[in-house]
């Protein structure tokens, strides 16, 4: 009888211990929309976009059909900084959505959100942009290129973009299309806005392109030639969070 009672007591203790551990499990803890200190990627959000620029692979089907846009992904930053429950909240296409999720899953751990100085599970939503490489003005044997590749050019744009204060106040978002010519020496000339957004964002887009490093010029018959490009520069208030 004593042995049976001891067995039942141990079984009961094991059950309540398991339930207590379940309650303490991070996966069952409350997820917060608003926290005192927001989750943060190591080094800041711009470093995160640099990571995306190096990790994303444009799907061939989307490239062929000229599919572009932003995939908005919501996820949970766990108390240890890992990302979980990645969900597409607003997608573009099946292949772009899947690629955005794939890239996000490779993210290093973030700094977790905090309430009262304590790490908590927190929701975070971010746009993942898919923008095709600049359009060529004419057929070229060897197209002009930014040092390190076009992804590096977009990294430069994101790292140096300064959101105009007036545009922030007016909640202006969108894309400014800028055309320019890569000259024979690699310098950028004839810079102009061909797809405006607002006076302030247009001026900032021009400033960014003017500040670019020289490109490797295009080649035709073994000689450098001028080539025209048009690039979209995205202004997103979400990138400021």
| Paired strand residues for 227 | 182
Give every CB contact of residue 4 below 8 A, 6+ residues apart in sequence.
none
In a domain, 90, yes or no: yes
Is residue 138 located within the same domain as residue 126?
A: no
| Paired strand residues for 31 | 121
pLDDT at 43: 86
Is residue 43 located within the same domain as residue 147?
A: no
Task: Check which CATH number belongs to the domain holding 181 and give it.
Answer: 3.30.2420.10
Write down which residue in 80, 108, 132 finishes a domain.
Answer: 132
Is residue 230 located within the same domain as residue 151?
A: yes
Q: pLDDT of 23-58, one tens digit each? A: 343 456 899 989 999 999 998 877 887 788 778 888
Q: pLDDT of 157-205, one tens digit each? A: 989 999 999 999 999 999 999 999 899 999 999 999 988 999 999 999 9
Is residue 152 located within the same domain as residue 236?
A: yes
pLDDT band at 9 (very low <50, low <70, confident <90, very high): very low
d(Cα 82, Cα 41) in Å, to the nearest integer?
Answer: 11
Is residue 105 located within the same domain as residue 152?
A: no
In a domain, 14, yes or no: no
How far the first Cα of the chain sits from its last, in Å, is 65
pLDDT at 241: 65
Is residue 240 located within the same domain as residue 142?
A: yes
Per 3-state DSSP, the chain is made up of helix, strand and coil in percentages (nearest 5) of 35, 30, 35
Domain carrying residue 171: 133-241
Write down which residue in 106, 132, 158 finishes a domain.
Answer: 132
Write down which residue in 83, 115, 132 finishes a domain.
Answer: 132
Closest CA to 170 of 195, 201, 196, 194: 201
Please give the DSSP secondary-structure letter assigned to residue 194: E
Is residue 160 located within the same domain as residue 80?
A: no
* Helix locations, the chain, DSSP H: 2-24, 45-55, 60-64, 94-105, 150-160, 165-169, 199-210
When divided into structural domains, the chain yields a total of: 2
Is residue 124 located within the same domain as residue 173?
A: no
pLDDT band at 229 (very low <50, low <70, confident <90, very high): confident
Task: Give 63-96 as a DSSP string.
Answer: HHTT--EEEEEEEEE-TTS-EEEEEEEE-S-HHH
> What is the longest distance spanned by two Cα atoms in the chain?
98
């Amino acid at each position: 009888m004593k042995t049976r009672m001891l067995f039942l007591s141990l079984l009961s203790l094991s059950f309540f211990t398991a339930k207590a551990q379940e309650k303490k499990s991070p996966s069952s803890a409350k997820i917060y929309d608003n926290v005192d200190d927001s989750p943060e990627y190591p080094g800041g959000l711009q470093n995160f976009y640099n990571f995306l620029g190096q990790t994303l692979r444009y799907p061939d089907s989307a490239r062929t059909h000229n599919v572009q846009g932003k995939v908005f992904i919501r996820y949970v930053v766990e108390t240890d900084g890992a990302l979980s429950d990645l969900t597409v909240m607003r997608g573009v296409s099946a292949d772009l959505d899947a690629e955005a999720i794939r890239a996000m899953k490779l993210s290093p751990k973030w700094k977790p959100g905090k309430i009262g100085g304590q790490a908590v599970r927190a929701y975070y939503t971010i746009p993942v942009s898919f923008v095709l490489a600049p359009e060529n003005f004419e057929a070229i044997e060897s197209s002009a290129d930014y040092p390190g590749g076009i992804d590096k050019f977009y990294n430069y744009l994101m790292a140096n973009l300064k959101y105009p204060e007036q545009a922030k106040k007016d909640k202006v978002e969108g894309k400014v299309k800028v055309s320019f010519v890569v000259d024979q020496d690699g310098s950028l000339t004839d810079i102009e806005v061909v797809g405006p957004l607002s006076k302030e964002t247009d001026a900032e887009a021009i400033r960014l392109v003017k500040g670019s490093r020289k490109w490797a010029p295009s080649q035709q018959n073994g000689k450098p030639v001028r080539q025209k490009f048009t690039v979209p520069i995205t202004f997103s208030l979400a990138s400021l969070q």
